[in-house]
Amino acid sequence: MIVEDVSAQKSAEDALATTQADLARVSRLTTMGELVASIAHEVNQPLAAIVTNSHAALRWLEREEPDYQEVVAALQRVHRDAAHAGNVITRIRGFLKKEPLKREPVDVSGMIDALAQMLQRTLNQAAVGLEVRVADGLPELRADQVQLQQVLLNLLVNAVDAMQGLSGRPRRIVVEVRADPACGVLFAVEDSGPGIPAGQAAALFDAFYSTKTDGLGMGLAISKSIIENHGGSLWLDASGPDGSRFAFCIPVSQP
């Protein structure tokens, strides 16, 4: 009887060890999948802009009378977007190495202008108008500007996608930045799309959840993590048949 009990216990321990090993492997694979999805999501837009601008440079060169000023301008945009993609990879590597958050004074207007230029072709193709409202006298915001750009980029691309099938009213996006006494600097991105279905609102910020058929479901989850890492918060501020509004707040005094 004692031998049987010991044998049964050994079998149970072996089964438990095998299960734990399997769970550890699944956990590693899941983490790797999340990392790959994150990188793909973060660098997709600047890479797409690089392709667009390099094609534009070639078209200007292939004209009977090449326009070298346009070529130079297109190549400068390629350089800008390549640098942005490189910065994204650097930030991801820093995150994996648990480097401290890089906080520098943020040029809010310049950051949004750069995003508008990067997305100009996307906005034109989707017939979307972009309005930017940056309030005067913003307090100095110290944050990782590359990461904040990624959050805004994700919200802008989501807004464009939300209006793909919209007809009967103008397609527009309003980006608003203003001081908020309760939380520091408030950013908001509002679109004129159909809104978020009530049943989907609660899961929007979950990893791998997407309302788009070809979406990775990482954008809002990553954005939420970035903002929370800055001591702020990101939320769906309003949603209805006339559009959605996402907002996030970054504290001015560091937590």
**What SS3 class is residue 124?**
helix
pTM over 0.75: no
* 188-199: pLDDT as tens digits: 999 998 887 776
Mean pLDDT of the chain: 77
Listed residue (187, 185, 126, 133) closest to 159, CA to CA:
126
Q: Which of 32 and 48 is assigned the larger pLDDT?
A: 48
Read off the amino acid at residue 223: S
* 167-184: pLDDT as tens digits: 888 999 999 999 998 889
Q: Which of 147 and 112 is assigned the larger pLDDT?
A: 112
At 246, phi and psi to the nearest 5? Answer: -105, 145
Bridge partners, residue 248, by sequence: 187, 234
Average pLDDT on 110-131 reads 88
Tokens for 201, please give them: 């609102």
Q: Which of 31 and 152 is assigned the larger pLDDT?
A: 152
pLDDT value of residue 10? 65
The answer to whether 56 touches 117, Cβ cutoff 8 Å, is: no
pLDDT value of residue 32? 46
pLDDT value of residue 171? 92
Long-range Cβ contact pairs of 204-213 (< 8 A, separation 24 or more)? 204/236, 205/234, 207/34, 208/37, 212/161
Bridge partners, residue 151, by sequence: none
Query: Beta-strand (E) ranges in the chain?
Result: 104-105, 129-134, 142-143, 172-180, 184-191, 233-240, 243-250
* Distant-in-sequence, close-in-space partners of 30: CB < 8 Å, separation ≥ 6: none
pLDDT value of residue 114? 85
Q: Is the dihedral of CA 111, 117, 118, 124 positive or negative?
A: positive
The answer to whether 230 touches 181, Cβ cutoff 8 Å, is: no
Q: For the chain, what percent of residues have pLDDT higher than 70? A: 67
Tokens for 73, please give them: 């301008």
pLDDT interval class at 40 (50, 70, 90): low
Average pLDDT on 12-36 reads 51
- Choice among 62-76, 105-119, 123-137, 144-158 with the minimum mean pLDDT: 62-76
Q: Is the dihedral of CA 73, 78, 82, 85 positive or negative?
A: positive
At 174, phi and psi to the nearest 5? Answer: -115, 125
Average pLDDT on 233-245 reads 87
Domains of the chain with bracketed CATH: 2-96 (no CATH), 104-250 (3.30.565.10)
Per-residue pLDDT for 225 more than 50? yes
- Choice among 10-19, 38-47, 134-143, 219-228 with the minimum mean pLDDT: 10-19
pLDDT value of residue 98? 56
Listed residue (160, 138, 155) closest to 248, CA to CA:
155
Average pLDDT on 35-43 reads 59
The answer to whether 201 touches 252, Cβ cutoff 8 Å, is: no
